[in-house]
Amino acid sequence: MDRNTFTGLLLIAAILLAFTYFMRPSEAELKREQLLQDSLKRVAAGLDQQTATTDPEDAAGTQTIDSALLSGPFGSALTGEEQLLTLENEALKLSISTKGGRIAAVELKNEKRWNGDPLVLFQGAGNSFGLNLFVNNRNYSTNDLYFVPQEGSGPNQVVMRLNYGQGQYIDFIYRLGEDNYLVDFDIRLNGMDQVIAPDVNKLNLHWTADLLQQEKNMEAEQRYSTVYYNMDDDVDRLKENKDDEETLTKPVKWLSFKQHFFTSALIAKTNFEGGKTSVVTDVTKNHVIKTTSATLEVPFNHQPAETFNMQFYFGPCHFNTLKKIGHDLEDQVQLGWGPLEWINRWVVIPVFNWLDSTTLSYGIIILILTLLLKLVLFPLTYTSYLSQAKMRVLKPEMDEIKEKYKEDPTRVQQEYMKLYKSAGVNPLGGCLPMLLQMPILLAFFYFFPSSFELRQESFLWVNDLSTYDEFFKLGFTIPFVGDHLSLMCLLMTASTIIYTYLNNQISGVTGQMKYIGYIMPIMFLGFLNSFPAGLNYYYLCANLITFGQQFMIRMFIDEKAIHQKLQENKKRPNANKKSKFQARLEEMMKQQQEQQKNKGKKK
């Protein structure tokens, strides 16, 4: 097996491994399959699969409360009738329930779900919020107790009071600004120092929420949804691709239940003292992306009156909006890792914001952004093309060397090195400029799927640049492709195949390597078919601009002049002088050759 064959097989193996990794089924898909298999087993066993639709009150039965409890702690709050109070501004509409004194539902008034329905972040029985208290040898959750609205309530403020005894109560206070996504939230405890045990120095604030589907592509929304938190001034998150949980052992500034394009965050004025959080994908819940949960520790100093100040943020996961609030909330926007995040944060986003300040459509903005990128990278593109032209000019001489020493691969490589040295050609000159471009190209792979600006923005035939364009509905599902075909993805794939063909013509690549380049576009047709149309449009624009650049470069590069220049380089006095690196490399080759000969003699 020669070196080229080995290299080709190695690349194919690497591509297959990468394909297997990125295309492996998610945990949600595995759960759905398990649920289906369980259902089929029940059918085979003759079991009734009809889902009971029992009224919640009938299912729970009539709640009976001991009369002794009614006269004890929180006695008057154990029973009641739930009422909803509305608190709203230009951006938010909150429904605050007397049961638990909590926010029962949040609607973003300026946003819509993918199907045009009002956008509600959370509501229903799958959501809870309240303090867990241990009083008189019994556990209580304020989420299950009935609060009483106070006179301080009004258009911009709601005060909910949980009465314990004479002069002893807990207030949940909500205040809303005029046109933003922030809700001031205070927990005020009065006289509770006489109720809560002296050895308790922190209270557990428990919060759970079912994150409702907002986007057309539910799997993509799950891929970007999880719990974020700022612990000890460092932003971290739970895993998105599987169920996860974390114990928060250090001070926590904020914690959020983050979806693809929206987030619900609870921010402490000081700090929570720690806690625990989890995220679960439950495929049995219809239109629920994930179920999130958190328990945060609120400090309690046993004072007659104590207040713990917080803020809720209910709104878009928009980089600039979150950055204005502070506390590194903008880190919820996934911009990639390491240098990719730096490129997006300090280069791409500022340029995008500058273009966004115009009245141009986002399709034109993406085109201009791609043009600017290609202009910045043009020197690298030119250097790469020039290096490929030099290698192409030397190819006849390289073919002669290969034919002359075809029985001795090591000698072939040695002669190649001599030829490169004498002609003044760097064999890696075509690869290095391309490698330097890769971080910038990959940065856009993270930027476009996370860009809130593209949500529900149309361009040409695309109705929403933030998700796939369902140009053709298949009516059935193809593994790794889905149940649709994206026209933007098809055009991107076609342009990539053409680019690969032209690049092979320029570089003069032959053999198996000539065909390996066509594998990746076909693989990415399946991989990117369900990715945002804005991302595929960017790759399409990049390919088309590259075609134009290559056409222009070919007009100005004279291969005959390059050949003449290389021949002149060979005549230089030091043309054949070996560098230290080349000498060491040739010595290593000789040693390798000797070892192979010795192995042959032993056999």
Task: Please name the residues in contact with 60: beta carbons below 8 A apart, sequence gap of 6 or more.
Answer: none
Domain assignment of residue 176, yes or no: yes
Distance CA(329)–CA(278), nearest Å, equals: 19
- pLDDT confidence bin for 46, thresholds 50/70/90: very low
455 and 489 share one domain: yes
Domain assignment of residue 79, yes or no: yes
Mind listing the pLDDT tens digit for each residue in 119-150?
Answer: 999 888 889 999 999 888 888 899 999 999 98
Mean pLDDT lowest among 251-255, 377-381, 433-437: 433-437
Domain assignment of residue 213, yes or no: yes
Closest C-alpha among 293, 297, 271, 268 to residue 280: 293
Closest C-alpha among 206, 213, 208 to residue 120: 213
CATH number at residue 274: 2.70.98.90
Cα–Cα–Cα angle for 289, 292, 293, nearest 5°? 165
Q: How many domains does the chain have?
A: 2
Distance CA(77)–CA(80), nearest Å, equals: 7
437 and 311 share one domain: no
305 and 385 share one domain: no
Domain assignment of residue 43, yes or no: no
- pLDDT confidence bin for 570, thresholds 50/70/90: low
Mind listing the pLDDT tens digit for each residue in 350-365?
Answer: 999 999 998 899 999 9
Q: Is 385 left (phi over 0), alpha (psi -120 to 50) or beta?
A: alpha
Distance CA(572)–CA(568), nearest Å, equals: 7
- pLDDT confidence bin for 595, thresholds 50/70/90: low
Please give the residue range of the domain that contains residue 249: 67-333
Domain assignment of residue 295, yes or no: yes
**Mean pLDDT for the stretch of residues 371-380:** 87
Q: 18 forms bridges with which residues in the sheet?
A: none
For residue 222, the number of C-alpha atoms closer than 13 Å in the C-beta half-sphere is 21
152 and 179 share one domain: yes
Distance CA(149)–CA(171), nearest Å, equals: 10
Tell me the C-alpha to C-alpha distance, in Å, between residue 282 and each of 210, 331, 361. Answer: 10, 26, 38
511 and 406 share one domain: yes
Distance CA(66)–CA(89), nearest Å, equals: 42
pTM for the structure as a whole: 0.78
